[in-house]
Amino acid sequence: MPKRVDHHARRTLIADALMRVAADRGLEAVSLRHVAAEAGVSTGMVQHYFRTKDEMMTFAMETVGERTEARLTAAVEALGESPAPKALVRTLLTGLLPLDEPRRAEGRVALAFLAYSAARPRVAAALREDAAGMREVLAGRIRAAQDAGDAPEELDPDHAATALLALVDGLGVHVLGEHYAPETALAVLDAHLDTVFGPSPH
Amino acid sequence: MPKRVDHHARRTLIADALMRVAADRGLEAVSLRHVAAEAGVSTGMVQHYFRTKDEMMTFAMETVGERTEARLTAAVEALGESPAPKALVRTLLTGLLPLDEPRRAEGRVALAFLAYSAARPRVAAALREDAAGMREVLAGRIRAAQDAGDAPEELDPDHAATALLALVDGLGVHVLGEHYAPETALAVLDAHLDTVFGPSPH
């Protein structure tokens, strides 16, 4: 009888080890052997998840993507049924900011992936799709706010959504570089959300 | 008599070679030997400019910083004396977007540096100062527009400046990742500038 293997647990073990060594060294300096040593497993097991640098970078970005999605889903569910567009958008966008250490570590991995994939457009394809999906969600909520009379009609929802995601990614990069405190990034995001959706209590 | 050495020409030679290999391979994969081979000089000469990975990343970022500053200075001078705050701000910010291939190459280097320095705050110090200086310039122009009645009084100039720089850096990252065309980034920036300074012909 073949051994039963918990693939989810194994994947989580490798992904956790990769995130830890990436946080210490920077993802660009990490090798398969580093990850195997950190996870306490054979390099052969790590190779099951990635063999090349491209595959490692993609695996790391998938890990960050899955964790971000799980966090955003939980945060949106906590808003209850039919949240107001502004509350939903704010929850999604603050969920993308590196406001605590686990998210800082994920942000550093995302930044390393962005830098790596900027010279390798093929590697960046999944990220492009994720970003397009997020822009669509944001544009949909802006349209809903416009329909409800809660956002200016003259706003182009697609441009406004593109601006929101670019703003949050830029704020995230600056917070990771310690240009200013996470609180400043939040205040700047809130001021911008007010220009899109009008001022409102959070 | 010692040989006379044109340090500026030599530095430019090394910097150009570094930018070219970084554009091909991604900066994180570049070594001293790659740069020496590309420049057609000895590794010893390259070592005069950087010896360690930290020094190479810093040298690359300084190169990008100097080229960006020269480009921005020329663009601002072309505006003539006492340009309107909105025109000045737009000129500075569009100068930071990766709208052509040389600026895309510089943008990729900047992204690699950001990723590298996110795990090494000491290396990031110069970048932090540059960004703070740019935010101050932007905030000053927003204050000037407020004084002239051309920007809403309720705007916090520091927050608005932080948002502008984050927006442009985020747009730049997305354009480098080919999430959308440079023209989209420009249109989004212009829409945002209109919310800060009011609509106006460019």
Average pLDDT rounded to a whole number, residues B108-113: 88
Residue among B56, B58, B114, B154 with most chain A CBs within 10 A, to mutate: B114
Which residue in A189, A31, A131 sits closest to B180, CA to CA?
Answer: A131
Average pLDDT rounded to a whole number, residues B31-56: 91
Average pLDDT rounded to a whole number, residues B74-98: 95
The region that residue B5 occupies, defined by phi over 0 for left and psi between -120 and 50 for alpha, beta otherwise, is: beta
Lowest mean pLDDT among A35-39, B114-118, B132-136: B114-118
ipTM score:
0.91
Same domain, B62 and B21: no
A162 and B168 within 8 Å at the Cβ level: the answer is no
B174 and A169 within 8 Å at the Cβ level: the answer is yes
* A171 to chain B: closest CA residue: B166
Residue in this structure with the two tokens 């989209």, named with its chain if needed: B184
Give the model's pLDDT for residue A202. 45
Counted domains in chain A: 2
Whether A202 maps to a domain, the answer reads no
CB pairs A-B closer than 8 Å: 153
* Shortest alpha-carbon distance between residue A175 and chain B (Å): 9
Which residue in B129, B132, B161, B134 sits closest to B145, CA to CA?
Answer: B161
For residue B111, the chain A residues in CB contact (below 8 A) are: 111, 114-115, 118
Same domain, B118 and B39: no
B177 and A127 within 8 Å at the Cβ level: the answer is yes
Same domain, A123 and A148: yes
Query: In this structure, are residues A169 and A110 in contact, taking their beta carbons and an 8 Å threshold?
Result: no
Same domain, B43 and B109: no
B170 and A174 within 8 Å at the Cβ level: the answer is no
Average pLDDT rounded to a whole number, residues B113-126: 82
pLDDT at residue B55 is higher than 50? yes
Same domain, A122 and A41: no
Give the model's pLDDT for residue A1. 52
Q: At B120, which CATH number?
A: 1.10.357.10
Give the Cα separation of A96 and A103 in Å (integer). 8
Give the Cα separation of A7 and A104 in Å (integer). 27
Same domain, A150 and A76: yes
Whether B202 maps to a domain, the answer reads no
Residues of chain A falling short of pLDDT 70? 1-4, 200-202
Same domain, B95 and B171: yes
